[in-house]
Amino acid sequence: MKIDLISILPEFFEALDLSLIGRAQQDGLLSIHRHNLREFTYDKHRSVDSPPAGGGAGMVMKPEPWALAMEHVLSRRETDPAGNSTQEHPVLIVPTPSGELFTQSRAEELSKKSHLVFAPGRFEGIDERFTSWAAERFDVRRLSIGDYVLNGGESAVIVMVEAITRLIPGVLGNEASLDEESHTDGLLEYPVYTKPAQWRGQHIPEILLSGNHARISAWRQTQAEERTQQIRPDLWQRYQSS
Ligand code: 6GU
């Protein structure tokens, strides 16, 4: 999978060179390219923002630097001898608190794509005309990571890249652990324990020491259901009706 990240703070994404995602890049499973949006500005101050049309608080990102950055990304794609792209439109993810909710099933869908481009805005967001322009060249998705507001989309990009890329075969050491996680089957994960069996006066649930895998599996299912009912009644309702 190829990933292009465009931002006025490209250093933000250095965290993606660490740990499993860093390893996946070294192994060639993933290539992540960071671009500085200011390199696509041509005025003296390299400005990327301007006051909102119609007035109001804050600043809005100008569409032109974003369009130039996207043209640069598109120019690096493979083309046939006639100059047409040989692949489907890349997916352009625009992180925004006003987007559709990014979920595990969205991560699964996106993990099967060959090229993702992320356009995290700062300030009050990007001029709406950029999105319409981009929709002719990209499969555009406006996505939010939850019902709260961040200063910019960069940390949301890190969240989404991590959730998406760990689903690419080979990125995780132990792929089986994917099946047992929270959200994969619509339930929160059951509680987990390790040695010692007694720690500061607390004991591991006895069934986990029984060696009876069928009973352990049934216990874990019950725990997952109880937890989901208590902590996430919204998920529980969806689980029951599915
Ligand atoms: Cl994707 N961006 C910003 N700025 N705030 C958010 C968000 C994204 N998702 C939730 N809050």
Q: At 180, is the pLDDT very low, low, confident or very high (cuts 50, 70, 90)?
A: confident
What distance in Å separates the CA atoms of residue 60 and residue 49, rounded to the nearest whole number? 5
For residue 134, give both structure tokens: 């981009």
Identify the residue with better confidence: 128 or 85.
128
Whole-number Å distance, alpha carbon 147 to ligand 1 midpoint, is: 8
pLDDT at residue 139, rounded to an integer: 98
pTM above 0.95, yes or no: no
Q: Is the dihedral of CA 236, 238, 241, 242 positive or negative?
A: negative
Binding-site residues, ligand 1, Cβ < 6 A: 95-97, 144-146, 148-150, 152-153, 156
**Of 126, 142, 144, best ligand 1 pocket probe by most atoms within 8 Å of the beta carbon:** 144
pLDDT at residue 28, rounded to an integer: 96
Whole-number Å distance, alpha carbon 138 to ligand 1 midpoint, is: 21
Partners of 101 in the beta sheet?
144
What distance in Å separates the CA atoms of residue 98 and residue 146, rounded to the nearest whole number? 10
The yes-or-no verdict on residue 225 having pLDDT over 80 is: yes
